[in-house]
Amino acid sequence: MLVAVSLDGKISPRRSPGQPNPVGPGLIGDDIMALHNSKRADADGIMVGLNCILLDDSRLSLREGEGENPTRIVLDGLAQMPPAARVLTPDAPTIVIVSNDAPPDRVQTFRDLGAGIICSGQGRYVDLTPAMAELRERFGIRKLLVEGGGTVHRSMIAEGLYDEIHLIICPFVIGGSRSITPVGRAAFWPKGKVPEYNLTEADVMGDYLYLIYRPKKPVN
Ligand SMILES: NC(=O)c1ccc[n+]([C@@H]2O[C@H](COP(=O)([O-])OP(=O)(O)OC[C@H]3O[C@@H](n4cnc5c(N)ncnc54)[C@H](OP(=O)(O)O)[C@@H]3O)[C@@H](O)[C@H]2O)c1
């Protein structure tokens, strides 16, 4: 998990599709953008949830001329991603993880655009544990960088699928009680225990803080 978080613990204001994302290259320092790019370059795959595509139309690629793009992976239970999404261009391999309830014609559209398909679970939220195993075994994705958003991080943490959390604390405030936080949906308490972590690395990068945490209990 890699996340850039504001001083007030947000990752983005709540936006509608088409509204620009203020948390990007114009706001985030060049050193941090370079760090982000190097984390992408180091991964076999980069994964996001559908909302990152709908809101940001992310390419999930490396900066131009900086090496071979990792595989791009999108969680899209009901196959709602628009076929024109930039993540479906042929610049890099793409895998869409859908559920068994995804309309077959929409899944076929992704295939026709060259995407690999993993089918896991039912409904909007795909079943992550078998999907991660299939990514590893069928597609050779061993090192996965999950960029978000908050809904995806919530699901991955709930299933004990992260071995590291990389947090970049950024020197700005987003504000807003409805803004997106790094881990969304329901709190882990009172239904379960809150997951705990050890700090294993901390770097000061100008006005930014780059932290790496590992789970106190081994991951699944
Ligand atoms: N600052 C940062 O580091 C950073 C990084 C990445 C993203 N962001 C921001 O985060 C925001 C998006 O986050 P978000 O929480 O709204 O959405 P998200 O995590 O990007 O996407 C969640 C959606 O993915 C689909 N999905 C399929 N299977 C899932 C599963 N097992 N678990 C979770 N989701 C699954 C569902 O789509 P449906 O329910 O629609 O079917 C779900 O609603 C954007 O504003 C983006 O800019 C910030």
pTM of this structure? 0.97
| C-alpha atoms less than 13 angstroms from C-alpha of 203 in its C-beta half-sphere | 10
Instruction: Tell me phi and psi for residue 175, to 5 degrees.
Output: 70, 175
Preceding peptide of 140 cis, ω within 30°: no
What integer pLDDT is reported at residue 220 of this predicted model?
54
| Atom 44 in ligand 1: residue holding the nearest Cα | 52
Dist. CA 139 → ligand 1 center (Å): 23
Domain 2-215 has CATH 3.40.430.10: yes
CA distance 85 to 109: 12
Q: Mutation test of ligand 1: which of 51, 127, 159, 173 has the most ligand atoms closer than 8 Å to its C-beta? A: 51
* Side-chain-facing half-sphere of 172: CA atoms under 13 Å: 12
Say if residue 218's pLDDT is above 70.
no
Cα–Cα distances in angstroms (integers) from residue 2 to residues 48, 65, 86, 155, in the given order: 11, 23, 21, 15
Asked whether 46 and 145 are in contact (CB, 8 A), the reply is yes
More confident residue, 6 or 25: 6
Instruction: Give the mean pLDDT of 154-177.
Output: 97
Report pLDDT digits (tens) over 172-217: 999 999 999 999 999 999 888 899 999 999 999 999 999 999 999 7
Kindly list the domain boundaries of the chain, sorted by start residue.
Answer: 2-215
Q: What three-state secondary structure class fits 212?
A: strand
Cα(153) to ligand 1 centroid in Å equals 8
Query: 37-80: per-residue pLDDT in tens?
Result: 999 999 999 999 999 999 999 999 998 778 889 999 999 999 99
Strands (E), the chain: 2-5, 45-49, 71-75, 94-98, 116-119, 144-148, 165-169, 197-205, 208-215
State how far the Cα of 205 lies from the Cα of 5, in Å rounded to an integer. 14
Pocket test of ligand 1: the residue of 3, 5, 12 to mutate, having most ligand atoms within 8 Å of its CB, is 12
Q: What is the pLDDT of residues 120-154, one digit of tens each?
A: 999 999 999 999 999 999 999 999 999 999 999 99
Peptide bond into 190 cis (omega under 30): yes
